[in-house]
Every structure is written in structure tokens, then in C-alpha cells.
Amino acid sequence: MKEKIQEIEGVLRKYGQEHLLRHFKELSDEEKENLLDQILLIDFDLITSLYKKVINHEKNENQQDLQPLKAYEWDAIDNQEKQQLYDIGIKKIKDSKAAVILLAGGQGTRLGYSGAKGTFDIGLPSHKSLFQLQCERLINISRKCGTYINWYIMTSPVNHDETVQFFDDNNYFDYSKENITFFKQGILPTIDVNGEIFLEERGKVSMAPNGNGGCFLAIKDKGILTEMKEKGIEWIFINGIDNALVRVADPYFLGFAVKTGLPSASKVVSKKSPDEKAGILCYQNKRPAIVEYSELPVELAQKTNDDGNLIYDNANIISHLLKLEVIEEFFNYEIPFHVAHKKIPYTNISGDIEYPSEPNGYKFESFIFDIFSYVVDMAVLKVRREEEFAPVKNKDGEDSPFTAKNLVLNLHRNWLINSGVDSKLLDRKIVEISPLTSYNGEDIERELIIDKLFQSGTLLI
Ligand SMILES: CC(=O)N[C@H]1[C@@H](OP(=O)(O)O)O[C@H](CO)[C@@H](O)[C@@H]1O
């Protein structure tokens, strides 16, 4: 251990981070080993360069030269073409050319939920978790294609074990276990305003998940990228965990992306209001980009055209498609990081933990969509918000479990009406349609449902 300590002391001196061993003598042998191991994993060059960026305010420079990007409207596509897109997408999935990455590493802080977000029950009559809803949509598509789609689930060091256990306890929601791979996103140290890495405890470095863009590094490090290549996968669907209506592995969307001939695609919805917390898909420095809501200047967020519509209206719903080669290409560039000025609890010189009331340091995150700046162009599909976007972000109010549940139930009610059920029959009835029955409103047997509607108030189909 002595040599290890000396080596580490040298590194810490070089980077001005000696304080990390400030409480070393007070630790047990096991705690000492753990702390040294954590320090050895830190990329000090990266942290130093990120801090330099913070003090140089490079973040603001990225905001230059934004231009709107015109999305294809789903509603403007006729039924014949929709069928064609569907056929193309289904064929790709049947031929095992597509896989899905689910981003489920985030923490449900705003939701006031300490568990893994995917295990959250938004209060549907079935009490299905967000994981189960997504899994059953995948089962539906897998059945249509006669093959299980490979599903890669990104967790974080904080929720990994819990996530795996949850799937195991629920028998993988009847998905094929061999087609599910869990992998952890990385973590990065947090720093104070002087660039010093925080200690969370006397013997523990303060670390935070490295953002959903950590996905790319993780799939490379864990050999998943190579595995995908060996399997002949061409397209990767990437979606977030906190949208209760997300159309996972949507064949129409895949067909759309393939047909445009572009290497990446993204679904958007019309922004609800200028201050909606949604990233905006546009051009930045002549490249496609998503500018996160925290980084979009208010004047641009509010800017309207002559019709009074928002110019930057393409709201990101984290439903992306990328060709595998785009991901490989991305590693040739420096991965950008975004800075968040946050309240970070830390251990002070006396060894006590402080909980600051004001932001006192920085966390660094890379965003999944930063990869779009490295593609020539991308295809953007504007879909209907009420059909595809039910965000679960906050405990109450907007974008809460309550609003998401109602969006799901309203959509299901509309599916029934569209399949010929008289809306009067639905009065005071709650209907939830399982994704195993219907993916996007298809396969609903009207007669059967009408029968059941007479029998109960809450109906699970
Ligand atoms: C880094 C990232 O992916 N941010 C996304 C994500 O925001 P969060 O506030 O981090 O949940 O979800 C939003 C949609 O729900 C999307 O509009 C935004 O761009």
C-alpha cells in the first residue's frame, strides 16, 4: 500500500488535488484502500480541462449560430406511405438489423423517488412500471417480427443492482432474458468553484453520473459496440425511461429513417410553451443539434414567426435513431461535456458534511444528442404529442405521474373510439390497453371490448 500511496500523492500534487487525502490517517485500512482505488480511476486531465472550460465560459460560445430545422410532419404522410415505412421498418427488425438502447441511468430527484426511475408506477390501473410498459411494447413488436430485439439497458452505479433485481423478480416481464443486457454508465468527480474535487465523505470522492451521453463510452468499454457489430446490427433506437408513451422500436420511425437515407433521425413534438423544459432540435453552426433548454437563450426560446408560432419548436422527446457507424465515428472526436452549477454536499476540512444552500460547485455531463453535431444531416419526424409523449419528471404539477397517467388513459380511450366504440359507452369508464394487445391502436377487437364495457367500470384489455 505504501508504494500505491506514494504514487497517488505524486499524481495529486501534480494536479493540485492533495486535499483528497486530507483525512486519510483517520480511515480504517479498508476505507483507505477504497479511497485509493477511487482516486486511481479519476481522469485528472479530463477534470482539469473541464474546469478550464468552466472558467473560460466556453458553454456560451456553443450557442452561436442557431438556425431552425424543418421537421417532417407525421400527419402530412399519407396512409399508403405510412404502410410503406412500416414495412421497411418491420423488415429491418425481422432481419435483426436493429437494437434498442434504453437510457435508464438518471436519478429521479425531481420526482422525489429514490428508486430506479424505471421501477416507478405512474398509477395506471394495471400498476405497470415504466420498465414493464416499455418491455411489453418491445414484446409486441418482437411478436410481429418473429424475433426478439436486442435490448441494452443503461443503468448507473447507483441503480444498477436494483434494476437487475427488479427484472429478475418480475421474470423479465416475459421478455427473452438472453436478449437483455444491462450496462452501467460512467461517473465523474464533482468539483468546487476552485476546481478542487469534492470529498463526499472523509474516505469517499464525490462522484456523479456522467450524463446520458455516457452511453457511448460505456458501450465501447463494455464491448457492446463490438458485439453489435458482430451481430450485424445497423440501426440503434435510443430512448429515455421517463416517457410513459414512448414507442420503443417503432417500425414506422425506422422505416422513415431508412427511407431518408440519412444516418440519424429523431422524433420531436411541437413545444408546448416557450419555457417548456425540452431540448430544441435545430441547426447549430450548420450542423444538426439539440440545444438543451438550460442552454437556449430566452430570446430564442420565445422567438415567433409571422404566424405567431415558435421558431424553435422541435421539442426533443429522447427518441432517436442512429446508425452504428455514426457511433463508431464519434470516438474520433473529443466528447463535449456540459456544466451544471449545483448544490453539492461535501466534507469540509474538519471532516464534517456540509449541505450548501446555494450552488457551490460543478457537475459535468455529456448529452446523448451531442453526437448529432457530427453527422452531415439528420431526419426529424414531428409526431403527435398526445400519442407519443407523456413525460414523468416532477412529483406533482406539470409532467408528473398524474399527468402522464391521464395522457396514457386518454390515448387508450381514443384508440377505442377510433376502432368504432361509441364514446357514450365509455362514460365514467377507465380503460387501459396493454401494450401486449396494441402498440399504437391496432388490433383492437371492437365487439369483444363492447361486451366487456358493459361488465365493468375499469377495464384492462
Ligand atoms: C440531456 C437530455 O437528454 N435532456 C432531455 C431530457 O431532459 P431532462 O430534464 O434531463 O429529463 O428530457 C427532455 C424530454 O423529456 C428533453 O427535451 C431534454 O432535451
391 Cα–ligand 1 center, Å = 10
The domain locations on the chain are: 62-399
Taking the CA of residue 367 as reference, the ligand 1 atom at the shortest distance is: 1
Nearest CA to ligand 1 atom 7: 278
- Residue 318 near ligand 1, beta carbon < 6 Å: yes
Of 164, 146, 108, nearest in space to 391 by CA: 108
Residue 373 C-alpha cell reads as: 453535431
pLDDT in 10s for each residue of the chain, 461 residues: 888 899 999 999 999 999 999 999 999 999 999 999 999 999 999 999 999 988 886 554 555 689 999 999 999 999 999 999 999 999 999 999 999 999 999 878 889 998 999 999 999 999 999 999 999 999 999 999 999 999 999 999 989 999 999 999 999 999 999 999 999 999 999 999 999 999 999 999 999 999 999 999 999 999 999 999 999 999 999 999 999 999 999 999 999 999 999 999 999 999 999 999 999 999 999 999 999 998 899 999 999 999 999 999 999 999 999 999 999 999 888 888 999 898 999 999 999 999 999 999 999 999 999 999 899 899 999 999 999 999 999 999 999 999 999 999 999 999 999 998 888 888 888 999 999 999 999 998 887 787 777 777 777 88
Residue 10 C-alpha cell reads as: 505524486
Beta strand pairing call for 338-342 and 235-240: unpaired
Residue whose CB lies within 8 A of the most ligand 1 atoms, among 110, 111, 318, for a mutation test: 318
The string of DSSP letters for 380-439 reads EEE--HHHH--B--SSSSTTSHHHHHHHHHHHHHHHHHHTT--GGGGTT-EEE--TTT-S
286 Cα–ligand 1 center, Å = 22
62 Cα–ligand 1 center, Å = 18
**Would you call 191 exposed, middle or buried from its count of C-beta atoms within 10 A (0-12, 13-18, 19+)?**
buried
442 Cα–ligand 1 center, Å = 29
Of 273, 345, 352, nearest in space to 313 by CA: 273
- Residue 278 near ligand 1, beta carbon < 6 Å: yes
Homologous superfamily in CATH for domain 62-399: Spore Coat Polysaccharide Biosynthesis Protein SpsA; Chain A (3.90.550.10)
Residue whose CB lies within 8 A of the most ligand 1 atoms, among 246, 277, 335, 338, for a mutation test: 277
- Residue 277 near ligand 1, beta carbon < 6 Å: yes
- Alpha-helical (H) ranges within 231-306 are 251-260, 298-302
Nearest CA to ligand 1 atom 16: 278
The string of DSSP letters for 47-80 reads HHHHHHHHHHTHHHHTTSSEEE-PPEEGGGS-HH
264 Cα–ligand 1 center, Å = 18
Residue whose CB lies within 8 A of the most ligand 1 atoms, among 269, 272, 316, for a mutation test: 316
Angle at 163 between CA 159 and CA 165, to 5 degrees: 125
448 Cα–ligand 1 center, Å = 39
367 Cα–ligand 1 center, Å = 9
What single-letter amino acid sits at 190? T
318 Cα–ligand 1 center, Å = 7
Of 382, 264, 321, 346, nearest in space to 98 by CA: 321
H or E, element range at 160: helix 160-169
Task: Report which DSSP code applies to 242.
Answer: S
Residue 443 C-alpha cell reads as: 388490433
Count the Cβ atoms, other than its own, within 10 Å of residue 181: 16
